[in-house]
Amino acid sequence: MIGFFDRLDAYMVFKNLNDNRLTLDTGLSNGIIGKARRRGSLSQDNIAKILSTYCDLDANWLFTGEGEMLKQTQKDGQLTADKFLDFKELAEARKEIILLKDEKIARLQEDIKRLEEKLSNLKMELKDEI
């Protein structure tokens, strides 16, 4: 009998994911998927994170194995591969923008710290001269 993790693995193969990518995409703790496989269970919160991150994954199929792996849309009848790739590319682009902003913020924080140190040193030098 195919279980929850077998179905999750099938979805991961379909999406070209590994445990690390899944945990990064969903915000799960590092190594949680491997630990859950060994335990044989995954918390409802963690499953909810997976389902909310991968909106095309059908929850009923994941839990029971009934129906199709991918959700069917109301309009098209089924999520097309092209539409899926469009969503994936959009998500990847957004993640890249967030990473670039985070890097810029870190650089600016370093600049601020450096300038504050300079200002402090200048104040000390002026105080010594007076």
pLDDT in tens, 34-60: 898 888 888 888 999 999 999 899 888
Do 9 and 68 share a domain, yes or no? yes
Residue 80 confidence (pLDDT) above 70: no
Residue 114 has pLDDT above 90, yes or no: yes
| Res. 121: pLDDT tops 60 | yes
Confidence of residue 86 (pLDDT cuts 50, 70, 90): low
pLDDT at 75: 47
pLDDT of residue 98: 85
Residues 75 and 85 in one domain: no
Mean pLDDT (the chain) is 84
Q: Are residues 86 and 56 part of one domain? A: no
Same domain, residue pair 8 and 66: yes
3 and 53 within one domain: yes
Domains contained in the chain, number:
2
Do residues 27 and 78 make contact, with C-beta atoms less than 8 angstroms apart? no
pLDDT band at 71 (very low <50, low <70, confident <90, very high): confident
Rounded to 10 deg, the angle between the 19-26 and 44-53 helix axes is 90
* Mean predicted confidence (pLDDT) in 14-24: 91
pLDDT band at 81 (very low <50, low <70, confident <90, very high): low
Give the pLDDT confidence score for residue 21 in this predicted structure: 92
pTM metric for this prediction: 0.54
Amino acid at 48: A
State the first-to-last Cα distance of the chain, in angstroms, to the nearest integer: 84
Of 81, 73, 67, the residue nearest 14 (C-alpha): 81
What is the span of the domain harbouring residue 5? 1-79
